[in-house]
Copies of this chain bind each other. A is one copy, B any other.
Amino acid sequence: MLMHKMDWSKNIGHKTRVMHNYIDKYFHTSWEKKGIEPTRMQCATLHYLRANQEKEVFQKDLEATFSISGATATNILKVMEKDDLIRREPVPTDARLKKLVLTEKGIAFDDAARENIVRLEEGMKKGFTEEELTIFREYLDRMTQNIVDLVEENTK
């Protein structure tokens, strides 16, 4: 059998994993002893709740927005509730739902996180033209769809 030797330096899945992990690391290193350190997904959740304060937001909305499973969402929200960044309130009209509400502390941390998010957004794009970014997004969407198709083939 001919040995197929993978060149990891050209592997797009590998590159994606590495980039993904560095983004986590960015958030981890962005807090110089301000007490707590909201993680990447916590910052994203704070941001989402803040931007949708006029609406009612439930766990299922986070799951759809961020493409995470129910179990993952429960984990993230459990930690955030423990750290007093959010509350989960019952909804009178539907006992299955729990309304997600920012606490005062959650709002304060969202303010603090905002500059970190903006700095990352700007910094990531350094040296990229708008055209390149559009192509980059399109490639990511296309390749993700290819992988989704493979997963569906596996599970059909």
A-to-B contact residues, CB < 8 Å = 1, 3-6, 8, 10, 12-23, 25-26, 29-30, 32, 44, 47-48, 50-51, 65-67, 111, 114, 117-120, 123-128, 132-133, 135-137, 139-144, 146-151, 154-155
Write out the residue numbers on chain B whose beta carbons fall within 8 Å of the beta carbon of A136: 12, 136, 139, 143
Q: Which DSSP category, helix, strand, loop or mixed, fits chain A's interface? A: helix
From B3, B30, B50, B150, A123 is in contact (CB under 8 Å) with: B150
Judging by beta carbons under 8 Å apart, are A117 and B6 in contact? yes
From B3, B15, B19, B150, A51 is in contact (CB under 8 Å) with: B3
Judging by beta carbons under 8 Å apart, are B51 and A147 in contact? no
Judging by beta carbons under 8 Å apart, are B144 and A19 in contact? yes
Judging by beta carbons under 8 Å apart, are A140 and B16 in contact? yes
What's the Cα separation between A148 and B126 when bound, in Å?
Answer: 12
For A50, the closest partner residue in chain B by CB is: B3
6 residue pairs of the A-B complex, CB under 8 angstroms, read A6-B47, A6-B48, A14-B66, A15-B137, A26-B154, A128-B142
